[in-house]
Amino acid sequence: MIDFIIMGLRDLQLKQEYRSDRDDVVAEFFIPCLSNSIQYDRTIEFVSVKSLSTLTFGLENIQDHHAKIRLVTGHRFSTTDLNSIIKLFDKPNHRKFNGKINLDNKIGNMIRDNKIMQLKKIIEEFKVEIKVAIPNSEYVDGVFEERMGIFRDTNDDIVAFSGTSNVTFDAENRNFESVDVFTSWDDKTRVENKINNFENLWTNRTNYVEIYDLVYAERKNLLKYTTEWAVYK
C-alpha cells in the first residue's frame, strides 16, 4: 500500500489543467486530492462495482476523518452491476452481505479483494451515498452525463474540476481526457458555482432532471439496465 503524507489541498502543487498527453491525470491529480480530502462530491455518467471498489484506493485519510463521498450518476446500469450495487447500498442487506458479490468472469476475482470489503465498510458507515439523475424534460431526451467533482479538506479549502469521465482510478481503463481545475483560493467564484450546481442536484432543485435515491429508483423500476450494455468494468 502506498503511504500518503496528509496535507491540505492548498499544499498540493496543482495545475490549472491536466491532459493525458502530458500528465498522469490519476497519479498527479485525483489521488493526491482524494487522499488529502474529507469530502468528495462527484457527478458521473454511470457507476459500476469496479468504479466503486477502486474508489477505496487513497481513502485512508477520508476514513480516518469520518468524511463522506456523494455521487450523482446517470440511470444506466448493467444488470450484474445493478444487482451487486443494490446489495451494497440497501440497508436491510448490510447484515447479510458478506462481500461475495456475484460478478461476471472479468472481475469475478475481485469478490474477496480487500477493496471490496473496505468499500462495504465505508458504505455501512454512511460515508458513500449515491443518487440517480433521470431526465424529465423534452429538452433532455438522453441521459445524465455531467462531469464535475469537488474535493474539500479539513481547512475548508476546495478543489473543483470538470471535463473528465474517469471515475475508477484504474490503470487498466485509462481514457484520453483532460481536466480543468479550479481552487477556492484562486478562483472562488467558479468553485462556488460548482458547489451550488452540485448541491442543487443533490437536493433535487435542478431543471430537466429528477433526483432519486438509488435504492428507491431501483425499487420503482426507474433505472435502465441490460446484460449487454457495456460499462467500464
pLDDT on residue 60 = 59
E-assigned strand segments in 106-187: 128-135, 148-152, 158-162, 178-183
The rounded mean pLDDT for the chain is: 78
pLDDT on residue 27 = 84
Band (113; pLDDT cuts 50, 70, 90): low
CA distances from residue 216 to 23, 64, 98 in whole angstroms, order as listed: 40, 30, 22
Domain count, the chain: 1
2 part of a folded domain: no
4 part of a folded domain: no
- Domain of 94, CATH number, reads 3.30.870.10
> Greater confidence, 51 or 170?
51
Is the pLDDT at 134 greater than 60? The verdict is yes
Is the pLDDT at 197 greater than 80? The verdict is yes
121 part of a folded domain: yes
Cell of 209: 432532471
Check: CB of residue 9 under 8 Å from CB of residue 153.
yes
- Least confident range from 44-53, 114-123, 146-155: namely 114-123
Band (59; pLDDT cuts 50, 70, 90): low
Is the pLDDT at 71 greater than 70? The verdict is yes
Q: By three-state DSSP, how is residue 43 classified?
A: strand
- What's the pTM? 0.81
pLDDT on residue 6 = 62
162 part of a folded domain: yes
8 part of a folded domain: no
pLDDT on residue 106 = 44
pLDDT on residue 123 = 74
Kindly report, residue by residue over 5-29, the tens digit of the pLDDT. 567 999 999 999 999 899 888 889 9
7 part of a folded domain: no
Is the pLDDT at 111 greater than 50? The verdict is no
- Rounded to whole angstroms, the Cα distance separating 228 from 18 reads 33
Q: Which domain holds residue 168?
A: 15-226
pLDDT on residue 68 = 82
